[in-house]
Amino acid sequence: MSNARADRGPDRTDDLTAEQQYVSTLYDKLDELRRDATKRLTDTLRQTGGTPQARTERDISTTMYTDKLTQLSAVEHGLCFGRLDLDSDEVFHIGRLGLFDEEREYEPLLIDWRAPAARPFYLATAAARDGVWRRRHLRSKWRTVVDLEDEILDLDAGEQGSDLGLAGEATLLAALDARRTGQMGDIVATIQAEQDRIIRAPMNGVLVVQGGPGTGKTAVALHRAAYLLYTYREQLTKRGVLVVGPNSTFLRYIGQVLPSLGETGVLLSTAGELFPGVSATAPESAEAAEIKGRGVMVNVLNSAVRDRQRVPKEPIEVLFDREPLSVGKNLVSNARSRARRSRKPHNHARKIFRKEMISGLTNQVADRLGRDLLDRRDLDDIGAELRADDAVTEVLDSLWPQLTPQQLLDDLLSTPKRLTTAARKHLTDQERQALLRAPGSDWTPADASLLDELAELLGEDDTKAREEQARQEREELAYAQGVLHLMEQDEEIADEERLRVSDVLDAELLAQRHRTRSDLTAAERAAEDRTWTFGHVIVDEAQELSTMAWRVLMRRCPSRSMTLVGDIAQTGALGGAASWHEVLSPYVMDRWQLAELTVNYRTPAEIMSVAADVLAAMDTDLEPPASVRTSGHAPWTRQVPESDLPAVLPELVRAELDAVDGTLAVLLPPEHLDEVGARIAEQVPEAEVGDQQDELEARVVVLTVDQVKGLEFDSVLVADPDRILGESARGLNDLYVALTRSTQRLGVVHTSGVPSVLGGLA
């Protein structure tokens, strides 16, 4: 560590040279760690054969060294981005991960941004210096320091930052003005005080982060995930962290942020992907999705399950041992009542139903044969024969079948009679009609929440699974016994007192070690297990989730350790939230905290003034976030007849490309996407239509408002705002989202005059 106060006045060039030397030292250390991890991984991979225990240990080591290399590679760019000079004459450099000098008793070379010692880098002000007299921001291009910015936190100095209290203003604005790509970048070097307080908030309880467009909600949520994993490593490594996004486009967009922060063990998912084994990505109408998301669907699904627990109107005759048995209404009704009183899920209660039915049928057979002639063993034999009889099994299965969520939901949504029976008290004829579809249709995101609810109502009949597990364990035990036998044969035992392998390791223990999948991370195990509960859940665009989706997430996090990030003003889904209280009161009453983000880093003031009129037209008391910058580009508008839109938009796109150095998004109403999107892609070589990752990385992307939520671009063209407004009851919200995706320029192409809410464009 150097003397900080001796460095107060050197030439800027000298400062850059000194920082470059230090940063180069840090990269030398990073390279050393990489070489060491690579060697250890190579040595591990060269190990072959061995006992099952050795193979398991090798798998664990391989995963550990692979993860370490991934972490060390992910922090390559911007490894060190800051420095703190303290009153105590100590100097600390701040970066993406912690580096230490082993030869000097692990003296810190670089402080991890999440460590408590790094917090003044984000929170210290002239009024509350926290022992810091200078804060330095470093800007690098790969391994070269290209610029630096110093803040002297001295009450006697001039104005510090802007009236918004920004730290490292020049560095922040440089990052905001940078050209956008198809992937989101991290903000670790430019986190502001109000963001840092949210990122470092305690893990327990529900924290709601309300923030308008461009306030960094998503970045804060992801950095919070990295911070929690660093601070609560022991708890969260076991249970994992779940980050839920609104769609797969969004997840691809943010996919590199956490690895760049040194974290790879987080499960990223949409609500529709939380039911393992089901790809719930099919489209459906907004009306159908809204109906499926209602809380009343719990009652509909419960009725659908009970409807499959059937009592026959007339007795069913079944032949057993060439004699008829009567499966009558009273027998079935009593068995069903006994099973239902257990309050077990359908498939678990099915065992009780079958037991009662077999008991009743056994009594019929006993009465026919003469009960006085039979003892307990005879009755048990009759019951066993009844359980094994195919005809009896078929009848019992028809009365109380074993069901899967997929089977039941598909039957419910494709059979008008079943849907009417289950939903007549809860949905209108028109609403039931909106839900009907062809058998075997692909699953939609709204279906996934219903499948998860059904999994709770049905439970799993694990009889076959337990039988299969027992079979596998018998095979593994036999294999382990063979391994031990061969190992002992290979031993050259010269001394009778020498310990044998079997003295310290038996076959059962060996088989158990062979079965253990310790190499899987919590996130990997959670992705395969519907019943997994997470240590912490982070939800971005939380305002979009339906009541049924919230039920799924609450089951995934019974501890209610959650961070919910969103903006009520941007709710687009018909079943989305109108208030945070409405969402949370059923689960935590009023035991939740609200934190607000008030500064808009993305949207220039020129664009935000237009969007603010749309926000004012909504039924909300939310204030627009204050923009930190202007772009110098006034939003423009042009009127085009709707019939000419396919021909004119490609021309406007080419003109906008000439005016902007960066990415451009063309936002269309869904009904225009195919025709107009195809014309743009045909005439503009740089353009792609759709939301796949390779398409998002194109210079021009053509999307709907629903697809663009959470994304940002250098320039945006919004086409046909009247149609966007008229598409749904939340048209104002959709238009607000569309207008606030740009970091530099905005154009609006209208077909029938500028909508009144866009008066700022006139």
Q: Binding site for ATP: what residues are annotated? A: 211-218
Per residue in 545-571, is it b (16+ CB within 10 Å) or e — as a string? Answer: bbbbbbbbbbbbbeeebbbbbbbbbbb
CA gap 716, 739 in Å, rounded: 8
Pull the structure tokens for residue 229.
Answer: 């994993």
CA gap 122, 135 in Å, rounded: 9
CA gap 237, 229 in Å, rounded: 7
CA gap 577, 624 in Å, rounded: 19
Q: Give residue for tokens 């009365």.
A: 399
Backbone angles phi, psi at 28, to 5 degrees: -60, -40
CA dihedral 318, 319, 325, 327 (to 10 degrees): -10
> Of 435, 440, 421, nearest to 302 (Cα)?
421
CA gap 331, 311 in Å, rounded: 9
Angle at 18 between CA 17 and CA 23, to 5 degrees: 95
Q: Give residue for tokens 């004829």.
A: 429
Pairing verdict, β 562-566 and 713-719: unpaired
CA gap 496, 135 in Å, rounded: 72
Secondary structure of the chain: what % helix, strand, coil (to 5)? 50, 15, 35
Which amino acid is it at 181?
T
Contact status, residue 597 vs residue 220, Cβ threshold 8 Å: yes
Pairing verdict, β 562-566 and 536-539: parallel
CA gap 572, 541 in Å, rounded: 10
Q: Give residue for tokens 């705002």.
A: 721
269 Cβ neighbours under 8 A, 6+ residues apart: 242, 243, 244, 245, 251, 527
- Number of neighbours of residue 92 by Cβ within 10 angstroms: 21
CA gap 627, 599 in Å, rounded: 6
Pull the structure tokens for residue 61.
Answer: 């080591």
Contact status, residue 113 vs residue 121, Cβ threshold 8 Å: yes
Backbone angles phi, psi at 135, to 5 degrees: -120, 125
Strand order in the sheet with 206-211: 266-270, 241-245, 536-539, 562-566, 206-211, 592-597
> What's the distance, Cα to Cα, between the start and end of the chain in Å?
59
Contact status, residue 738 vs residue 667, Cβ threshold 8 Å: yes
Pairing verdict, β 664-668 and 687-689: unpaired
Pull the structure tokens for residue 476.
Answer: 């593994």
The helix or strand, by DSSP H or E, that contains position 56, with its residue range, turns out to be helix 52-74
Q: Give residue for tokens 């001039």.
A: 158
* Three state DSSP letters for 695-735: HHCCCEEEEEHHHHCCCCEEEEEEECHHHHHHCCCCHHHHH
Cα 35 to chain center, whole Å? 33
